[in-house]
Each structure stands twice: as structure tokens, then as C-alpha cells.
Amino acid sequence: MKDNRYDARTFAVRLKATMENMDKEVKKSRLAEQLYKHYAATAIPKGIHCLSLRLTDEYSSNAHARKQLPPPELLPLLSDNSFQHYILASDNILAASVVVSSTVRSSSVPHKVVFHVITDKKTYPGMHSWFALNSISPAIVEVKGVHQFDWLTRENVPVLEAIENHRGVRNHYHGDHGAVSSVSDNPRVLASKLQARSPKYISLLNHLRIYLPELFPNLNKVVFLDDDIVIQRDLSPLWKINLEGKVNGAVETCRGEDNWVMSKRFRTYFNFSHPVIARSLDPDECAWAYGMNIFDLAAWRKTNIRDTYHFWLKENLKSGLTLWKFGTLPPALIAFRGHVHGIDPSWHMLGLGYQENTDIESVRRSAVIHYNGQCKPWLDIAFKNLQPFWTKYVNYSNEFIRNCHILEPQYGKE
């Protein structure tokens, strides 16, 4: 006679093994998805590469593309503190055009807007060409390459040379990405580790914001913008916010429930198992966001923020990059401690590059929306329901954008 209990036990064992195999396959698929996203996020799309090349060629062949920005009669306004000064550091011409265009179009006083666009030496000709050939009048724009700032010398920026030449840093950012997948079976952890390997974190443009008081010695207050944001509302009221003697007006990111964006405290960024961190920082201290920041440069010049930033970058290098996970935000969180004034969250909505299920009504209501995360709006992996908030500011009638086949998406607009 057949033993039914034996058959049931065999079936259960086989079912368990099948389920475990399925779980492993699902995990492998999710890990592979994160790897593919990482490669897609760090690659330069053909259209954007084409745009940069064509505009660079235009700079060498077209005198109009090389015209002075701004014209000589407007140069005094670059240091006039009665104007609203915005600073943008980027090597992405298309993204920079969206930031500037959306800011000017949303402004109630565009004739009072001054944009200081900073880029690297390689991108400078193309970036200059774009803004020389595409006026943002009545707003004013200047384009400068990092090579044009006399202050940016190795003596003044010693840590950057250390970062670029440090073997551990180079291995971390340029090493074998395939090895990362063996670190964890958690796709979210892998996503974080892959983001940490983005070359932008050792780029001078990414660290530039810590030197704003020295780069703009005549300015008292500025708004610094990342290149993956869109301005949807007039930012003029930012200049009226009383920072109460603080240096940095920023949205705090410890006021929400979601895991990706608005529930971040120092424990999110720092390794509190390291004794240096454990004895220096509070894991419950609230974090804040880079991306749209009001900086009181006059107040900043009275502090040691830059030196503190340099000190902690060096400490992380000495520790073998074990004090924090990634990015320029962690050392800034330390450097700006005691110097941050929290502003209303409606000024700066984060996470549009992380979460596809972001509430659309909240996006519409926010003054600044930020595509922080891998899924940038200019990439194929962008979330299609969130991308139109960005593409509405792309000038698809521009001949360079048309010729580079940077085409307007065919799905419904916002």
C-alpha cells in the first residue's frame, strides 16, 4: 500500500525547493535590473552627446556662438546684490537649458534674474554656444568654465587632488561593478552601492558648491540649483526668507514616512559602527537636501564650513572610505551643522528619479521638483508619468535638438 504521508512529505520538500529556487531567480532578476539601470544612468545618451558636439563645433565656426555673455554693458549686474542670483554647475547642456528656462518662465520678475552657469573645460564651448544662441532675455546669463576661476587652484582645493589620486577612491568609483552584486542580495542595497560608484561624486563640479563664497566674492545671497530639477513656481519669495543668521536654507528630509526620500536622518548616511562617527555625530539628527538651497554667502564667510568639509573628506580617505556610503552630502551634513535653516517642504520636492508612484498632485503643487535618483528625465529609463514635467521645458523646435534627434515623447503630456 502506498504511504500517503511519505508522498505528502516528498511533495512538501519539492515544493519548498521550488519556491526557494523561484525566490533566487526573482532576486537575480531584481539585481540584474539594478545593474542595467546603473549602466543606463551613467551612460550619456546619444542625443545629448550629439548636442554637445554640434554646439562645440558651432562655437569654433560661428562668431554669434562666441559672443560675450552677458554683453559688456550688463557685466556690472553680475555682482549687483539687488538682483536674484542663481548658480548652476553642470556638464549637461540639455539639463542646464531646462533649469534656466523653467526658472525664467516661472519668475514674476525675469528682468531681475541672473544665472551663473558653471561647467567643465570640455563642455564650456558647447554650453556657451547654447546660451549665446538661445537668449533668455530679459534675464541675464553668464557661462564660465572651472578653468576660468583664478581661485580654483590646487593650493585652495587640496582635497580634490587627494580624491582623484587616492587608490581606494579610484578602485571604488572605477572598479569592477560586477563585484558589487556579491555584496548583498538586497536590490535596494545594491542600488545604493551602485549609485555610490557614480563618477560624478569625484567630479570638481559636484564639489563646487562648497566654494561659492570664494568663487563669488561680491555676492551676498544666492540660490544654488542642481541640474536635475525643474522650477514650477516663482522663486522670488526665497530672497525674503529670514534665515535667522543661518547659512543654508534647505528642506529637511526627516519629516516623511517613505524609505527613499523624506525619512532620512544621519544614520541613513553615516557608518555609526565606526568609532570616529559614533563619538562625533547623533544618528537621530535630521538630514536636509541639496538641490535647491538658499545660501547666505555673507554669513558663510564668517564660518569655518569649508575647512570642516575638507577635514571630514580627509578623514574618510584615511578610514578607507568607511565613514559614509557615498556622495558630497554626508561631509556637507557635518560641515553645515548648526548653519541650516529649514524651509517649507513645498519649495523642494525630491525623489522623482526614485519613485514612479509619486503623487502627481504633489508634483504639480511643488515649486521645485527634483529628479534625484537614477531615473533622470533625459534617460530612456525615466518614469513616463513624471517625465513630462521636465520635457515641457525642452525646446524641441531648436535646430540642434531636432538634428540630434532629441525627440519629444509621444505619450500624453502633463
Residues for the chain: how many in total? 414
Rounded average pLDDT over 308-316:
91
Quote the cell numbers at residue 256.
516623511
β-sheet with 140-145: strand ranges across: 140-145, 113-119, 84-89, 221-225, 292-296, 248-250, 340-342
CA distance 368 to 206: 20
Burial 33-59 (b: 16+ CB within 10 A, else e): ebbebbebbbeebebbebbbebbbebb
**Is pLDDT at 309 greater than 90 in this prediction?**
yes
Res. 214: pLDDT tops 60: yes
Q: What is the pLDDT of residue 37?
A: 53
Q: To which H or E segment does residue 119 belong?
A: strand 113-119
pTM: 0.84
Q: What is the dihedral of CA 291, 293, 299, 303, to 10 degrees?
A: -30
**Domains of the chain and CATH, by start:** 46-349 (3.90.550)
Amino acid in position 37:
K
Contacts of 180 by beta carbon, 8 Å cutoff, 6+ apart: 190, 193, 194, 197
What is the pLDDT at residue 171? 57
Interval 345-359 mean pLDDT: 90
Average pLDDT over residues 210-228: 97
Q: Three-state SS for 117?
A: strand
Average pLDDT score over residue span 306-327: 87
More confident call, 393 vs 12: 393
> Measured between alpha carbons, how far apart are the two ends of the chain, in Å?
69
The per-residue DSSP string of 324-358 comes to BSSSSHHHHHHHTTT-EEE--GGG-B--TTT-TT-
pLDDT at residue number 41: 54
How far apart CA 189 and CA 260 sit, in angstroms, is 11
Relative to beta strand 113-119, strand 84-89 is parallel
pLDDT at residue 206, rounded to an integer = 85
**344, three cell numbers:** 517649507
For residue 45, pLDDT beyond 80: yes
Q: What is the mean pLDDT of residues 383-397?
A: 94
At 13-38, the pLDDT tens digits run: 777 777 767 666 666 665 555 555 54
Comparing 63-72, 195-204, 271-280, the range with the smallest average pLDDT is: 195-204
Mean pLDDT, the chain, whole residue set: 85
Distance CA 317, CA 302 (A): 27
Q: What is the pLDDT of residues 245-264, one digit of tens each?
A: 999 999 999 987 776 788 89
Per the CB < 8 A criterion, the answer to whether 122 and 250 are in contact is: no
What angle in degrees, to the nearest 10, is found between the helix axes of 93-106 and 46-61?
80
Tell me the three cell numbers of residue 375.
531615473
| pLDDT for the residue 62 | 97
Q: How far is CA 152 from CA 2, 35, 318, in A?
A: 84, 35, 24
C-alpha cell at 283: 544618528
Tens digit of each residue's pLDDT (9 = 90 or more) over 365-387: 999 999 998 899 999 889 999 99
